[in-house]
Amino acid sequence: METKQRRRVSAALRTFLKNKGAVIGTILLLACIGTAVFAPLIAPYDPLDVVGTSRQAPAPRYLLGTDLLGRDVFSRIIFGARISLTIGLISVAIGLSVGTSMGLPSGYYGGWIDSVIMRLIDTMLALPGILLALVVIAALGPSLANVMIAVGISSIPLYARLVRGSCLSIRELDYVQAAKVIGSSDARIMLRHILPNLVGPVIVLSTLQVGSAILVGAALSYLGMGAQPPTPEWGLMTADGRAYLTRAWWMSTFPGLAIFLVVMTLNMVGDGLRTALDPRMKIA
Amino acid sequence: MTRYIGQRLSALLPVLLLVSTVVFTIMHVVPGDPVQLMLAGAEAGSVTPERMAELRKSMGLDQPLYIQYGRFLFNALRGDFGMSIRFQSPVSELVFKAATYTLQLSVAGLLLALIIGLTLGIIAALCENTWLDTICMVLALFAVSMPLFWLGQLLIMFASIRLQWLPAISGDQPKGIILPALTLGATAAGLISRLTRSTLSEVLRDDYIRTARAKGLEERAVVIGHALKNALIPVVTVVGLQFGGMLSGAVVTETVFSRPGLGTLVVKAILWKDYPLVQGTVLFMGVSYVLVNLLVDLVYAWLDPRIHYG
């Protein structure tokens, strides 16, 4: 890395580390990732095994109680971390790859390419939030894999707009103009000059989007459109406990709490990254 | 200004066309024969090939795809979205009836979001960098991180069952809308409070505010008369986006509180594979959102003339 870039990165790192929220968030996030990775070692029981009687209250033996079938809620939540994080990561991967490949030519070339791509983006944005994902599920059918595709598709427009916007401003800069003048190919300019400047905003958006994807994915499963039983997905578990809010409150409360905590840590880290990389950055 | 309106409207039409295309495609991308789906519940023996062919012809499914699409568009423009497979009644009737419920809930949710969000944001900005500021912003962080269905269930557990303050199932009483509206508006309240805090604290540092204070104006007059007016302009645009958030959030909130509305309708329609109903509901929601955003953009352009002269 060139010295100027290295200095920028270390300056950003220092700002990030001074932010208490960001640091706490990072530690919690690492704990969450660790839980997902080492789930078989941490969980006391198999998430699919019936280990106790139905709807037992939290006790030393079953830390967060058992669910309707007598499975250990704590173990299911631990393994559920894997599913939620996978939903987040794959959706972001889809959104990032497709969104960038749409936003780059749109912002760089402008003209009719930009118009066409922007109309496509606007169409996707016409169905806000969970709606676009619902439409994809309606077409593909309810399943965990389709949830990842659906949520991925609904994050494409955010990346496309971000990349396009950055592209529009960067392409006017002197050194990009200079590169064009000396005859660099468009692809080379996009890859070597424009793309590196996008890394910051894209990292911030991705961190926040993983949280958003987890929320939408859990909501889809809650509605019966996503993960199917007996998968220990947090949204599905919350839905299962819905009929027992008074008699077995732990069935819904803890999976929902897990979602809340993971998304909150992602938001804390994302906010910290945004402040560190550029406080004036507009993400969405 | 008129030119700006014209520009925005002409950008709108292709988008609406594309949305209807996407919606139309759902039914024809799905594997399986819609006619078979429709007759799935009928008794064996009554499902003859002749009956299926007849049904297919009456639904226009024997025509080439482009003709079906043309008819779909033509009918959609007249407000005719076909018949619901499940309810055997016009989709437009079902959609409009559900829309009134969702509109009520969305307005209530947005109102609560504005009240709570603006209050928290203003307090945070006026007490910048104090513990009060931190508390407000932590609450905002909670609000945007919380899954709606979980918040709804928690509210039902505490406010309704434990404390017996408010009803969980809405029915028709006005009190019944409070919990769902709180749930729906929570995320928006969080976003509005953060935005208000950042814009207001920036505006409070501006020169003209210092001038107003130096002139001897009371602090309250400074904040309300000068600072707030300008800080609220970005919040207006966010409100438009938040309408989309309301539509999206209604899907989950209505299910949690067993309220009728577009959200419940679209979810059930998808689960029942009632494709005409899915099409009609999704198209309606998409078009409403696009139109509301257009309205908000026009209001914003009117408030800040730099937008359409730029």
Angle at alpha carbon of residue A106, lines to A93 and B5, rounded to 5°: 115
Query: Is B41 in the same domain as B103?
Result: no
Do B19 and B42 reside in the same domain of the chain? yes
Mean pLDDT, residues B183-194: 93
Range of the domain at B110: 94-303
Of A218-227, B40-49, B166-175, B232-241, highest mean pLDDT: A218-227
Q: Is pLDDT of A175 > 50?
A: yes
B108 and B59 in a common domain: no
CB contacts, 8 Å: B275 with chain A: 138
Residue A283: pLDDT over 50: no
ipTM of the complex in this document: 0.89
B297 inside domain: yes
Are A73 and A251 in contact by the 8 Å Cβ rule? The answer is yes
- The per-residue pLDDT for range B139-154, each reduced to its tens digit, is 999 999 999 999 999 9
From A191-200, A208-217, A234-243, B209-218, the region with the lowest mean pLDDT: B209-218
Residue B237 has pLDDT above 80, yes or no: no
Domain ends where: B54, B81, B108?
A: B81
- Does one domain contain both B16 and B125? no
Other beta carbons within 10 angstroms of residue A97's beta carbon come to 13
B247 and A128: CB-CB below 8 Å?
yes
Is A85 in contact with A142 (CB distance < 8 Å)?
A: no
Most confident range, picked from A244-248, A278-282, B184-188: B184-188
The answer on B134 and B245 residing in a single domain is: yes
Pair B226, B117 in one domain: yes
- Contact partners, residue B149, CB within 8 Å, separation at least 6: A218, A219, A222, A235, A238, A239, A256, B252, B255, B256
Query: Does residue B89 form part of some domain?
Result: no
* Minimum Cα–Cα distance from A254: chain B residue: B150
pLDDT in tens, A54-90: 888 898 888 899 989 999 999 999 999 999 999 999 9
**In the listed set B81, B111, B132, which residue is the last one of a domain according to the structure?**
B81
Say yes or no for a CB contact (<8 Å) between B15 and A119: yes
Nearest by CB to A119, which of B14, B22, B141?
Answer: B14
- For chain B, give percent helix, strand, coil, nearest 5: 80, 0, 20
Is B156 in contact with A238 (Cβ distance < 8 A)?
Answer: no
> Would you give the DSSP letter of residue B43?
P
Considering its fold, how many domains does chain B have in total? 2
Q: Does residue B185 belong to any structural domain of this protein?
A: yes
Same domain, B166 and B297: yes
Nearest CA to B80 out of B290, B275, B276 is that of B276
Considering the domain architecture, whether residues B249 and B187 belong to the same structural domain is answered as yes
Q: Do B270 and B204 share a domain, yes or no?
A: yes
- Chain A to chain B Cβ contacts (< 8 Å): 137
Contact criterion met (CB < 8 Å) for A245 and B161: yes
Q: Are B9 and B113 part of one and the same domain? A: no
Least confident of A65-69, B163-167, B298-302: B163-167
Of A31-40, A146-155, A227-236, B19-28, the one with minimum mean pLDDT is B19-28
Cβ–Cβ below 8 Å for B11 and A122: yes
Does residue B308 lie within any of the structural domains? Answer: no
B202 and B294 share a domain? yes
- The DSSP string of B143-162 is HHHS-HHHHHHHHIIIIIII
CA distance A213 to chain B (A): 11
Decide if A200 touches B, using CB distance below 8 A.
no
Residues from chain A contacting residue B16 (CB–CB below 8 Å): 126
Answer whether residue B151 is part of any domain. yes
CATH number at residue B200: 1.10.3720.10
Q: Which of B146, B271, B285 sits opposite A260 (nearest CB)?
A: B146
CB-CB neighbors (< 8 A) of A135 in chain B: 22-23, 26, 278, 282
B147·A239 Cβ contact <8 A:
no
Q: Which chain B residues are closer than 8 Å to A127 by Cβ?
A: 19, 282, 285-286, 289
Q: Is A24 on the interface with B (CB under 8 A)?
A: no
In-domain check, residue B309: no
Same domain, B35 and B165: no
**A184 in contact with B at a CB cutoff of 8 Å?**
no
Nearest to B245 among A129, A224, A238 (CB): A129
A128 contact B CB<8A: yes
Say if the Cβ atoms of A264 and B150 lie within 8 Å.
no
Determine which of B157, B162, B239, B248 to mutate to test the interface with A (most A C-beta atoms within 10 Å): B248
Structure tokens at A279: 């406080």
Tell whether A282 lies on the interface with B, counting CB pairs under 8 A.
no
Whether A222 and chain B come into contact, CB under 8 Å, resolves to yes
The confidence band for B106, taking pLDDT boundaries of 50, 70 and 90, is very high
What the block records as the tokens of B24 is 């139309």
Instruction: Measure B144 CA to nearest chain A CA, in Å.
Output: 8
Domain end point (choices B31, B54, B81): B81
Inside any domain, residue B88? no
**Distance of residue B277 Cα from the nearest chain A Cα, in angstroms:** 12
Q: Is B217 within a domain?
A: yes
Predicted confidence at residue A34, as pLDDT, reads: 95
